[in-house]
């Protein structure tokens, strides 16, 4: 399934027994639809987004009885899952498919509102309402430094050494957005809060609050350098997840 959700309505993706999460809401709805009673229905997701982070391309998978077609399941979920979640599409995948472990790349989009309208109640929960001008040239030059296989250890929440800190970034660019600029980045993997730390630091460079050379220095783990505070979660969207063609629909 490909999902959209409004992160402001949830305490993140991952199931928590005492909080409303995307995974928890999907599992509770599927349990009712499939007649599982008190048993938990397990939904696997491609990305474990934090509280306040949105998605327009989250991929999730669940095992369901063969009597349900993909179209029927999508329709039933959209009718009953409740506020904040919409299933864009559903299809039958290979039995061994896992949306997280088989992902080849993920793309995130981060919106920065430089226009005063970004503070509108209709926008403020879906962007960073900065309302300040940014040097577009510095944003572009900073994003170019991220390309390739680099260590993003300093652009991540501490304590993530289990799989190392090297990520391969295949695309990183700033594009115009109707209320400002949006940062789009594609990589084979992401560290926790990596995109938010990148955006926070790049924005400070574009505001003249720190030099462009800090980006390369942070990637090289130069002693004494630290990132800027992370950008708020409200501007971040999981936009797309890519897979090898053979892992798609049967």
**Residues with active-site annotation:** 50
Q: φ, ψ for residue 101 (rounded to 5)?
A: -75, -20
Other C-beta atoms lying within 10 Å of the C-beta of residue 242? 15
Measure the CA–CA gap between 210 and 17, rounded to whole angstroms. Answer: 42
Which among 148, 103, 134 has a CA at the least distance from the CA of 199? 134
The Cα 51–Cα 11 span in angstroms is 4
Phi, psi of 246 (to 5 degrees): -65, -15
For residue 91, what are the CA distances in angstroms to 14, 45, 61, 131, 243?
22, 15, 10, 41, 14
Phi, psi of 64 (to 5 degrees): -130, 155
CA distance to 15, 36, 40, 113, 173, per residue, from 177 (Å): 32, 44, 41, 8, 12
């Amino acid at each position: 399934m490909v999902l959209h959700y409004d992160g402001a309505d949830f305490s993140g993706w991952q199931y928590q027994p005492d909080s409303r999460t995307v995974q928890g809401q999907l599992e509770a709805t599927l349990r009712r639809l499939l007649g599982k009673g008190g048993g938990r229905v397990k939904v696997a997701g491609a990305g474990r987004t934090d509280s306040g982070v949105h998605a327009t391309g989250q991929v999730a998978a669940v095992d369901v009885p063969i009597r349900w077609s993909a179209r029927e399941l999508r329709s039933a979920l959209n009718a009953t899952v409740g506020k904040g979640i919409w299933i864009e599409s559903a299809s039958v995948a290979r039995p061994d498919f896992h949306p997280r472990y088989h992902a080849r790349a993920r793309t995130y989009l981060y919106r920065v509102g430089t226009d005063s309208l970004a503070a509108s109640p209709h926008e403020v929960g879906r962007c960073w309402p900065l309302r300040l001008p940014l040097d577009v040239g510095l944003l572009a030059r900073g994003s170019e430094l991220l390309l390739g296989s680099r260590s993003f250890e300093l652009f991540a929440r501490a304590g993530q050494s289990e799989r190392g800190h090297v990520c391969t970034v295949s695309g990183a660019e700033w594009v115009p957005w109707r209320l400002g600029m949006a940062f789009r980045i594609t990589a084979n993997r992401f560290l926790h809060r990596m995109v938010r730390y990148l955006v926070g630091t790049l924005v400070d460079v574009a505001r003249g609050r720190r030099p462009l050379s800090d980006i390369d220095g942070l990637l090289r783990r130069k002693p004494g350098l630290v990132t800027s505070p992370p950008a708020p979660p409200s501007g971040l969207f999981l936009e797309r997840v890519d897979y090898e063609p053979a892992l798609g629909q049967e």
